[in-house]
Amino acid sequence: MTRTLTHDYVVVGAGTAGCVVAARLTEDGARTVLLVEAGAPDSSPRITTPHTWPALHGTDVDWAFRTVRQRATGHVHDIPRGRTVGGTGSTNAMAFLRGDPGDFDTWARQGCTGWDYASVLPYFRRSETAPHGDARYRGGSGPLRPAPSASLHPLSRTYLEAAQEAGHPLTEDLNGPKLRGASSHDLLIADGRRQSTATAYLEPALGRPGLDLLPRALVQRLTFDGDRCTGLDAVVDGEPVHCAAGTEVVLCAGAIGSPHLLLRSGVGPAEEIERSGVKALHDLPGVGRNLQDHIILAGLTTPSRGPLPPPSGNLGEVTLLLDSEPGRASVDLQIVFIHVPFTNPWQRAPEYGYTFGVGHMRPASRGRLTLASADPEAPPLLDFRYLDQAQDLRALVAGVRHALEIGRTAPFDAWRGAEHPLVGADDRAVETFVRDAVQSYGHAAGSCRMGVDALSVVDPHLRVHGLTGLRVADASIMPEIVSTNTNAATVMIGEKAADLLRGRDRAES
Instruction: Name the residues annotated as catalytic.
Output: 443
CB 440 within 8 A of CB 77: yes
Helix (H) or strand (E) holding 5: strand 3-12
299: left (phi over 0), alpha (psi -120 to 50) or beta: left
Task: Determine phi and psi for 123, rounding to 5 degrees.
Answer: -75, -40
Residues 6+ apart with CB under 8 A from 462: 450, 471, 472, 473, 477, 497, 500
Q: How does DSSP classify residue 50? A: G
How far is Cα 148 from Cα 186, in angstroms, rounded to an integer?
4
User: Longest C-alpha distance within the chain, in Å?
Assistant: 71
Closest CA to 90 of 51, 144, 43, 38: 43
Give the CA count within 13 Å in the CB-facing half-sphere of 286. Answer: 22
User: What is the rounded end-to-end Cα distance, in angstroms, of the chain?
Assistant: 48
CB 376 within 8 A of CB 221: yes
Question: 3-class DSSP state for residue 110?
Answer: coil
Give exposure, 408-417, as e/b (b: 16+ Cβ within 10 Å): bbebbeebbe
What beta strand segments (E) does 148-276 contain? Answer: 181-184, 189-190, 193-194, 211-214, 217-225, 228-236, 239-251, 267-268
Closest CA to 462 of 421, 504, 422: 504
CB 492 within 8 A of CB 114: no
Closest CA to 192 of 87, 314, 340, 16: 314
Closest CA to 160 of 388, 409, 416: 409
Helix (H) or strand (E) holding 33: strand 33-36
How far is Cα 120 from Cα 482, in angstroms, rounded to an integer?
13
How far is Cα 348 from Cα 72, in angstroms, rounded to an integer?
21
Is the dihedral angle over the CA atoms 190, 92, 400, 419 positive or is it negative? positive
